[in-house]
Chains A and B, each alone.
Chain A
Amino acid sequence: DTAVSQTPKYLVTQMGNDKSIKCEQNLGHDTMYWYKQDSKKFLKIMFSYNNKELIINETVPNRFSPKSPDKAHLNLHINSLELGDSAVYFCASSRYSGGSPEAFFGQGTRLTVV
């Protein structure tokens, strides 16, 4: 039973295309995140949603738009893809209830823009 699942695992697409990555968690968590990992393994938070509301929006181009239809889902839509968007994108979730939130990560989506 996968706790945090992302689809697709691999995505190869041409510059200028629009693509979406989906994420679902079955842990009953109230907070979900998108992280970007570059080729040097550096991880940077992009967005965070708590109970379907956007609470963290780091400096990310507005071509990236997250959507949370419900607490268990957080999708990432990317418009007009650029070469520099190539990376591994990780979805994560946690239960933020005043304690230290342990984050559970999905397997990642490796996006390659050609």
Chain B
Amino acid sequence: GNSVTQMEGPVTLSEEAFLTINCTYTATGYPSLFWYVQYPGEGLQLLLKATKADDKGSNKGFEATYRKETTSFHLEKGSVQVSDSAVYFCALEYGNKLVFGAGTILRVKS
């Protein structure tokens, strides 16, 4: 079946540290891949997406590259801020349905 696996959290970093949140997927065909972010008390917002192999999605300093050979879509940011503290969800789309990973809590300390 189609599924998404994310690294477990929480991930705790100091401000300006480098961030990587791993995401791998299992899918039939070639799904589109997404990262969503959920700030405390809010709904999910699209952070970035990639629709085909080797595409790189980027937004607000975050990047992720669609790697077909490793079925991965890892999220990275060079220098995190306290305001990046949130829950990050990796997701894939197939058949008009978004399948989410379990979410990774990120806590950034000043």
Min CB distance B70 to A, Å, is 20
Please state if A42 and B96 are interface contacts (CB–CB under 8 Å): no
* Nearest B residue to A99, CB-CB: B51
* A42 with B46: CB separation less than 8 A: no
Size of interface on B: residues with Cβ below 8 Å to A: 22
Per-residue interface assignment for chain A, residues 75 to 114, with 1 indicating a CB less than 8 Å from any chain B CB and 0 otherwise: 0000000000000001010001001111111111000000
Say yes or no: A107 contacts B105, CB within 8 Å: no
Please pick, from B32, B38, B89, B103, the residue contacting A100 in the complex, using a CB distance under 8 A.
Answer: B32
At the interface, is chain B mostly helix, strand, loop or mixed? strand
B79 CB–A CB distance under 8 Å:
no
Interface size on A, residues (CB 8 A): 26
Q: Would you call B49 an interface residue if the criterion is a C-beta within 8 Å of the partner chain's C-beta atoms?
A: yes
Q: Are B43 and A90 in contact (CB under 8 A)?
A: yes
**Interchain nearest-CB distance for A9 vs B (Å):** 10
Contacts of A43 on B, CB cut-off 8 Å?
44, 89, 100, 103
Q: Specify which of A40, A45, A48, A104 is in contact with B102 (CB 8 Å cutoff).
A: A40
The answer on a CB contact under 8 Å between B87 and A101 is no
Tell me if A108 and B46 are in contact (CB < 8 A). Answer: no
A41 lies within 8 A of B43 (CB): no
> A20 at the A/B interface (Cβ < 8 Å)?
no
Assembly CA distance A64 to B96 (angstroms)? 21
Digitize B76-110: 1 where CB-to-A-CB distance is under 8 Å, 0 elsewhere. 00000000000101000100111110110100000
- Residue of A90, A99, A104, A105 with most chain B CB atoms under a 10 A cut-off: A105
Q: Which among B49, B98, B100 has the highest number of chain A CB atoms within 10 Å?
A: B98
Residues of A within 8 A of B44 (CB): 43, 90, 92, 103, 105
10 cross-chain pairs, A with B, having the tightest CB-CB distances, nearest first: A100-B32, A105-B43, A41-B103, A43-B100, A105-B44, A100-B51, A107-B43, A96-B96, A106-B43, A42-B102
Q: List residues of chain A with CB under 8 Å of any chain B CB.
A: 4, 31, 33, 40-45, 48, 50, 55-56, 90, 92, 96, 99-108
Please list the residues of chain B having a beta carbon within 8 angstroms of any beta carbon in chain A.
32, 34, 36, 38, 42-46, 49, 51, 87, 89, 93, 96-100, 102-103, 105
